Structure 1
């Protein structure tokens, strides 16, 4: 911000740290505040790509893609689905999450275990020699020898669809209830409003589609090839991702995409195909956080409310005390949303031009 103030005809006090005229005091204050808040906040801030995309759309650098998050999610799940059913998962954390959602039965470790046990049995029917019509009939009648479920595949599909819908509905319901807990004690009738929230149903449909289609495609692959292959997981992941049609979640798609890139990079480094860059995680964290701050100052509208709350918490709301109106004449719309705000300056330390612009 100091560099920007050298370009514009305003001091950094007039434009940036409007709550404190002395640069060193303002910097030290923000440093202490950020340290305190950083001790409370855990997790990784990825390159909030969503904000970058929103900014590119706002200024005409990119065209919006209707429901583009589905394509992003499908691409990531194609890779993650393949590795989920392989011996070595791409990301241990993502693999654990998928095991929690999809169960251990379809994971790569269990696939290898089942293949070993089936291979040791004599007289196992070879479904690969059946015609596609016969395979389709058997798919609806019974289960494959390597299927992890006990009863027929059709019942397996229906069971996962129902279970997925209930889990998704309850999970979204819990997310909706938490912010209203104090109000629920005073007005219990608010429960009905929360229950009727359409996002509950959408989340249920998303999880139902995701779990049912993924497991169903794994069953289809077993019947089609007579055994299990990792590529079944790739196809299952791609098709299951279209459940996001019911429940739009760009942040989830972006997070999964970057975790996939992270896993691919890590595997490439371990295999010796890619160089391991020292401090790359720290650099990515700094770049991501810096971009969020930049976007919050230049055009706060392109940030999600959760990101704005994060930056506000991180700086004890100092980030919203910038004088964004001074940037409006330079092609930005930074002042939108802050029309009624003007810093409480020490008038002895600001220029006459800024005094004239004030309320």
Structure 2
């Protein structure tokens, strides 16, 4: 008990210099050094992001486009640089105000205080996407933190359940035509490529239509003509309410083949892009990297989902004699079995948050739910605080790639944070940080970070 009390006292009395900036005694210099370190890295990151967005327009950019791209890059650079530098300053100020460090005030509270303020610097149209991105990583991180404490337990293929339910909700909005009004979003362009424009709403009002049964007549399967009759029947059979021109069987099969080929092409292309250096050096292991089952995962997921969705949609139209946007719910859930081939947590969380956002927008438009002012800024602030807390105090719960990104743009400061005094918190923060640092192969070539501004 006495030992625990001493540990708690050491954590409380830990100075911000010992914790955040051991290379300098000045909090102002530590903040300024962080700002100077963040500017080059964030500018490089956002330059690539905005240039890629410019190239995806597939047209020669004008001087006006280039000017807007540069302005957007500078504004986003200012936002992220300000966020990181104010985080360091907030840690120092919160400690001075409270007289010491507590578990929630070492990183979570300082990040919460400055994140929403920093987001106000960013362009308004960028705030919601940023909030969704941070929430995506933050939810995964929060789950891992709870899992480490034994409060929750992951289930096998659980992300597929989330993905299936989310895509089903999006497909209902798509078939109901709400993506044209209260739920406008670029996500539906991707769904249109996968499912096709035929299933796009709003649906035309229709009455119950009972199709006339096709009379095949007597069939003699010893004769090739009978097989041709059956083939012709299957390829031309179509309910009058179906939105496609061809037979339902052809529509469903082609609807599965096209997304499959597209998904394989995207996955292979992405792998080639990531291995461009090895390809140029002629060190590419083609069989290991490209010609394997992993390259088929996305294609199989999209192809089977589209195939099952269209088969079940046509089946429901034939069964009930009319078309209805609600059919997207049953068809989406059935098609979700194809997503078992691509159990991706990041994509699942993104689709979940996107569907919740669009359903919320629909609810606000219908006056079914109240509109929360500045909801994007609130969500960004909360989940950024979760990420900062995890990155500093519970590094094992954070995505290693995100930890490395923060380490690089901060000029090597994150790996120099000293959490030895926080043993009383019981999460072994320093051991977790050392594990991630070793796992990522982070090497400290100097005793000081970039722009230390030692005084």
Equivalent residue, structure 1, for 2:174? 84
CA contact (8 A) 2:309 2:335 kept: yes
How do residues 59-208 of structure 1 correspond to structure 2 at under 5 angstroms?
59-89=149-179, 90-109=183-202, 111-112=203-204, 126-127=210-211, 142-187=237-282, 189-208=284-303
Query: 1:72/1:91 Cα in 2 relative to 1: closer, same or farther (>3 Å)?
Result: farther
Match of 2:325 among 205, 230, 245: 230
Q: TM-score, normalised by structure 1?
A: 0.80
Partner Cα distance (1:129, 1:13) in 2: 82
Partner Cα distance (1:149, 1:18) in 2: 67
The CA deviation at 1:294 is: 0.9
Is 1:13 aligned with 2:14?
no
Is 1:46 aligned with 2:134?
yes
Is 1:28 aligned with 2:123?
no
* 1:229-272, Cα deviation, whole Å (9 max, x unpaired): 01111112222223221111011111111111111222222222
Partner Cα distance (1:86, 1:49) in 2: 29
CA contact (8 A) 1:81 1:236 kept: no
The CA deviation at 1:277 is: 2.4
In structure 1, stretches of 5+ residues that fail to align are 131-136, 347-359
SS at match of 2:373: coil
Partner Cα distance (1:141, 1:175) in 2: 38
CA contact (8 A) 2:11 2:422 kept: no
Partner Cα distance (1:11, 1:336) in 2: 21
Partner Cα distance (1:280, 1:6) in 2: 38
Quick check: 167-176 or 311-320, which moved more? 311-320
CA contact (8 A) 2:415 2:433 kept: no
The CA deviation at 1:310 is: 3.8
Partner Cα distance (2:387, 2:342) in 1: 25
Cα-Cα RMSD: 3.2
Equivalent residue, structure 1, for 2:307? 212
Q: TM-score, normalised by structure 2?
A: 0.64
The CA deviation at 1:329 is: 5.2
SS at match of 1:127: coil
CA contact (8 A) 2:407 2:413 kept: yes
SS at match of 2:243: coil
Equivalent residue, structure 2, for 1:353? none
Partner Cα distance (1:234, 1:29) in 2: 53
Q: Give the paired residue count.
A: 328
Match of 2:356 among 261, 286, 311: 261
Query: 1:78/1:5 Cα in 2 relative to 1: closer, same or farther (>3 Å)?
Result: farther
SS at match of 2:434: coil
Partner Cα distance (2:158, 2:333) in 1: 14
Partner Cα distance (1:146, 1:250) in 2: 37
Query: 1:150/1:330 Cα in 2 relative to 1: closer, same or farther (>3 Å)?
Result: same
Partner Cα distance (1:212, 1:310) in 2: 39
CA contact (8 A) 1:91 1:260 kept: no
CA contact (8 A) 2:168 2:333 kept: yes
